Amino acid sequence: MTATAAAISAATARRMRLADDERRLWPLMLAPAILYIVLLVGFPFFLSLFYSVSNVTVGSRDMAFVGLENFRRVVESGTFWIALGNTLIFTIVSQLFVLLFANMLAMALVADFRGKWLVRFLILLPWVAPISLGAIGWLWIYDSIYSVINWTGQALRILGPNEWPIWLGQPNLAMASIIIVQIWRIVPLATVIILAGLTSIPQDIHDAAAVDGAGFWRRTFQITLPLLLPITLVAVLFGIIFTFTDMIVVFVLTRGGPYDQTQVLATWAFFTGIQGGDLAGGAAISLFLFPVLVAVAIVFLMLARRAEVT
Amino acid sequence: MATVEARHISKHFDEVRAVDGIDLIAKEGEFLVLLGPSGCGKTTLMRLIAGLEQPTAGDILLDGRIVTDLPPRARNIAMVFQSYALYPHLTVERNISFPLRAIGMPKDEIRKKVEWAARMFGIERFLDRKPRQLSGGERQRVALARAVVREPVVFLLDEPLSNLDAKLRNSARDELKQFQRNLATTTIYVTHDQAEAMGLGDRIAVLNQGKVIQIGTPQEIYRRPTDTFVATFIGSPPMNLVEDGPSYLGFRPEAFLPREVGSAEDGIALPFRVTRVEYLGADRLVYGVLEGRTPEAHVISKLPDNIRAEIAAGERYDFVVRKSGIDRFDRASGRRIEGDAR
Amino acid sequence: MARAGGRLRRIARSGGHAGVLVFFVTFLVFPFYWMLMTTFKTTIDLHDVNKNPFLFNEPPTLEHLKVLFEDTQYLQWLINTGAVGVAVVVITLVLAVPAGYALARMTGPWAQTLGIAIFLTYLVPPTILFIPFARIIAVLGLQDSLWSLVLVYPSFTVPFCTWLLMGFFKAIPRDLEDAAMIDGLSRLGAFIKVVLPISLAGVLTAIIFAFTLVTQEFVYGVTFITSASSYTVSVGVPTFLVRGDVYFWGSMMGACLIASVPIAIIYNFFVDRFVAGFTVGAVK
């Protein structure tokens, strides 16, 4: 027997062990994470569905099936429609502005300039700071007596001596104030995402367009923006999810007031289910967030599938 | 040293048959080249031999023993990758000693082996550096040193020269062949570069679409290609193939010369209208069309520098292919037609 | 004439460029600047409507910070947030690192789809899950305990970090693992001894983001925790630093600043990788 054959004989004893066998290794490495996600996202989600068709409360011991009773109650309450309307308005209006602002800001950040690193750091602050703390900062800015906006408005003669907007007191102003804060916190994320898309467009393409005679605006609208479409879509989708399902900004700024005029679905679910103890009702309300989530997920999957194919 | 055998080996990826029932034996101490265009299956075959892929069917044998079920680390082989695959976070010394530390060799033995391998490739002074501090050629030597240090029974080399500068490649080729001769280890070498294959291989296996089309010495492959694929893949410029009735008339550019220069041997005369002449220094490549054929037959002639005959574009010349330089291939199957039916 | 027009256009372009930057930076940074001013102005100064709020009309003071750290449980909240952060990061790494690697190396079309599916669970908002969780936590007896957060937070850090790490591991050439397997390691050994040491930057990125996600979280915090000593910073500041009708603005703004800026500084270094995670491969 040659030395080789002997070595290989010995090796035969070291056959494919688990640590070698990728077909068995991968599922094992994946399993804990997937299990955790199923248990802590999947299970509560189905529980939520179940609660919405039961009569469970925070204190109750047993639950009974009540069909669509909770949904009927919810839909019959006036506050629900206000909350739904507000949620849609806040999301659509804020994301339109985010789209515009993020594109402008991203284009301004493509070129290198002195202090660019500082600017990038500064513009990220609203996104990185805990949302509740940023909202508290705006609460102070919007304060009914000490609002710096009002002081500045009067100093610059934009506001008359008797004009003193109560930013969080009047319903329409309150909605505008909330929208501004949502724009404020999402713009950094959208900007950075679109900026990544901008820098990934090869310089060759800009050069070719310039040689072909296209000026700045034509290049922007006919070359850059269309190429950015997928990534812009990603930024918008994130913005929609984070705004549509958010409760923090409204909670901190107005608690849904005045008189529930600025409620959104998420805060209304909170007040109904957690503070009010009506878990079933709260679950029913929060489930109205789900369709948007599904729509966004589908678009994401389509985007990812397309990115793979190209 | 061991023989390497692939027995009815197949690897399918969904519907793609990357390797399609190959039988191949590399003899002890042989330098066998796997040659073919990209996608022909040569790299997949090498990975099957290494154990990095599991075959759909068939077996791999080392020295007559079936190793198909063994993981790569149990096969006592070494591999040099196209990218060299040096561990970026380790010094050269630790890169080379990595396989020895993996089997638990004692420290002083490791040191001796590392010095021996480093000396073989002249990289002793790099032992404390990291891969990113080395040039391409230097990294390649480190990869070779790492392969050699275990004294494996088989070397697998996956296009190890393709990332080198063109100038460096020739000398690297020479050194590689020398070192293999000295170690006498069975070596399997993958490349798509037919010049490299011809220069390095004891035998060449030409692959296409997952199958071995022909296996033989460089002379056999060059002079007696089994089909049109091998005939046109080997040789630069490729063999001229001209439609001639039910077959192809095949002749290499260097066998297609002006009548005045031709040898005493019998040949076929082919009137040749020149369209373009390329002066390449050592040779001239003459591009043109054979007269009186449909469809138009574009052919190339290769004139070495010592043939000073005046050839001008646009002119018509009498060129001759000597009888021994003629091959015929069946047009339907592409296979070579044997015998005197020229 | 044309040259003058060209120069004018260029000046207008860089003016517009600067203008855009100034406008947005002001808009985005102003609240933090305001927090900074408010933290150091005396209460009298803050509440004087006749004075210019952009100036220090009285000399700056440290009293609000003193109150924050001595008279409130802010320090405890910082500690709570840090402790929960560390625990959640550990859990996240244990689950997400192997999962991310397996997804990166799996062959087959559904590996990519599975990765995206896992990422999408990150998008399931706490405002859907918090209702059932309220009861689950109560049933488990974790009501009002920081452990409830340690249990629940990985539900969003693990999906996100798995996705992030998957992208990161994919970028490491497979050759290295092949070489390691030929050199004598098993597949698992190659992962542990070759891939992981090279991946420290990616793992660090995952750590930073997981920690950031923890510090930002509010919904579960406000749902599960009721006693002041168990708050995290994100929950404690908005709910507790208000005594009746009186808002301790100076202390609150200081609290916000301290909890935001240091994290932002660290986060800033990892933004590019973070964006790569978010863009779901839409940027190639």
The model's pLDDT over C181-193, given as tens digits with 9 standing for 90+, comes to 999 898 999 999 9
Q: What's the pLDDT score for residue A115?
A: 83
- When pLDDT is averaged across residues B235-259 and rounded to a whole number, the result is 90
Q: What's the pLDDT score for residue B214?
A: 95
Half-sphere exposure of C157 (CA within 13 A, CB side): 32
Secondary structure string (H, E, C) spanning B20-75 = EEEEEEECCCCEEEEECCCCCCHHHHHHHHHCCCCCCEEEEEECCEECCCCCHHHC
The model's pLDDT over A121-172, given as tens digits with 9 standing for 90+, comes to 999 999 999 999 999 999 999 988 888 888 888 888 888 888 888 888 888 8
CA distance B99 to B72: 12
Q: Dmax of chain A from CA atoms?
A: 105
Contact B73 C173 (CB under 8 A): no
Burial (Cβ within 10 Å: 0-12, 13-18, ≥19) of residue C196: middle
Partner C contacted by A240 (CB < 8 A): no
B211 strand-pairing partners:
B208
Contact B65 A5 (CB under 8 A): yes
Q: Which member of C179, C184, C197 has the closest CB to residue B85? A: C179
Question: What is chain B's alpha carbon radius of gyration, rounded to the nearest angstrom?
Answer: 24
Size of interface B-C (CB pairs under 8 A): 58
ipTM, 2 dp: 0.88
Q: What's the pLDDT score for residue C11?
A: 77
H/E element, B225: none
What is the CATH superfamily name and number for domain B239-337? Nucleic acid-binding proteins (2.40.50.140)
Contact B74 A14 (CB under 8 A): yes
Q: Which region, left, alpha or beta, applies to residue B210 given φ > 0 means left and ψ of -120 to 50 means alpha?
A: left
Q: What's the pLDDT score for residue C35?
A: 92
What DSSP character marks residue B338?
Answer: P
Partner A contacted by B101 (CB < 8 A): no
Which residues of A fall within a CB distance of 8 Å from B75? Answer: 8, 11
Q: Where are the domains of chain B?
A: 4-223, 239-337
Token representation of residue B13: 């990826």
Partner A contacted by B173 (CB < 8 A): no
Q: Tell me the average pLDDT of chain B.
A: 90
Number of CB atoms found within 10 A of residue A65's CB:
9
pLDDT at A1 over 50: no
CA distance C261 to chain A (A): 7
Contact B74 A2 (CB under 8 A): no
Contact C212 A246 (CB under 8 A): no
pLDDT at A11 over 80: no
Strands B57-62 and B154-158: unpaired
Domains and CATH numbers, chain C: 2-61 (no CATH), 65-278 (1.10.3720.10)
Contact C178 B103 (CB under 8 A): no
Q: What's the pLDDT score for residue A308?
A: 58
Partner A contacted by B69 (CB < 8 A): yes
The model's pLDDT over A37-59, given as tens digits with 9 standing for 90+, comes to 999 999 999 999 988 888 887 77
CATH fold for the domain made of B4-223: Rossmann fold (3.40.50)
Domain A78-309, second-level architecture: Orthogonal Bundle (1.10)
CA distance C176 to chain B (A): 5
A interface with B, Cβ–Cβ < 8 A, is 2, 4-5, 7-9, 11-12, 14-17, 20
CA distance A264 to A255: 10
The model's pLDDT over C219-276, given as tens digits with 9 standing for 90+, comes to 999 999 988 889 999 999 888 766 566 678 888 899 999 999 888 888 888 887 777 7
Q: C10 versus C189: which is more confidently predicted? A: C189
Chain C nearest-CA residue for B80: C179
Contact C186 A20 (CB under 8 A): yes
Partner C contacted by B81 (CB < 8 A): yes
Chain A nearest-CA residue for C256: A133
Question: What percentage of chain C carries pLDDT values higher than 90?
Answer: 48
Nearest to C270 by CA among A182, A61, A128, B243: A128
Backbone angles phi, psi at B339, to 5 degrees: 90, -170
Q: Dmax of chain C from CA atoms?
A: 80
pLDDT at A310 over 50: no
DSSP string, B127-143: TTS-GGGS-HHHHHHHH
Contact B62 A11 (CB under 8 A): no
DSSP string, B149-208: TT--SEEEEESTTTTS-HHHHHHHHHHHHHHHHHHT-EEEEEES-HHHHHHH-SEEEEEE
Nearest to A16 by CA among B42, C188, B96, C273: C188
- When pLDDT is averaged across residues C143-166 and rounded to a whole number, the result is 94
Token representation of residue B303: 């004139």
Contact A245 C125 (CB under 8 A): yes
Q: What's the pLDDT score for residue C231?
A: 92
Which residues of B fall within a CB distance of 8 Å from A2? Answer: 2, 63
Partner A contacted by B59 (CB < 8 A): no
CA distance A46 to A245: 18
Which residues of B fall within a CB distance of 8 Å from A18? Answer: none
Nearest to A103 by CA among A278, A210, A235, A259: A235
Q: C148 versus C44: which is more confidently predicted? A: C148
Nearest to B283 by CA among B303, B299, B300: B303
Cβ–Cβ < 8 Å for B193, B201: no
Q: What's the pLDDT score for residue A174?
A: 93
Q: What's the pLDDT score for residue A12?
A: 47
Partner A contacted by C174 (CB < 8 A): no
Whole-model pTM: value is 0.85
Q: What's the pLDDT score for residue A16?
A: 61
Q: Which member of C25, C35, C265 has the closest CB to residue A119? A: C25
Q: How confident is the model at residue A229 (pLDDT cuts 50, 70, 90)?
A: confident
CA distance B58 to chain A (A): 17
Q: Which member of C46, C237, C275 has the closest CB to residue A196? A: C275
Chain C nearest-CA residue for B51: C182
H/E element, B285: strand B283-290
Cβ–Cβ < 8 Å for B81, B143: yes
Token representation of residue A191: 């900007």
Q: Which of A83-87, C12-16, C18-22 has the lowest mean pLDDT?
A: C12-16
Residue B7, classed as helix, strand or coil, is strand
Q: C235 versus A310: which is more confidently predicted? A: C235
Which residues of A fall within a CB distance of 8 Å from B4? Answer: none
Partner A contacted by C152 (CB < 8 A): yes
Contact B1 A4 (CB under 8 A): yes
Q: Which member of A4, A12, A16 has the closest CB to residue B76? A: A4
SS3 content of chain B, % helix, strand, coil (to 5): 30, 35, 35
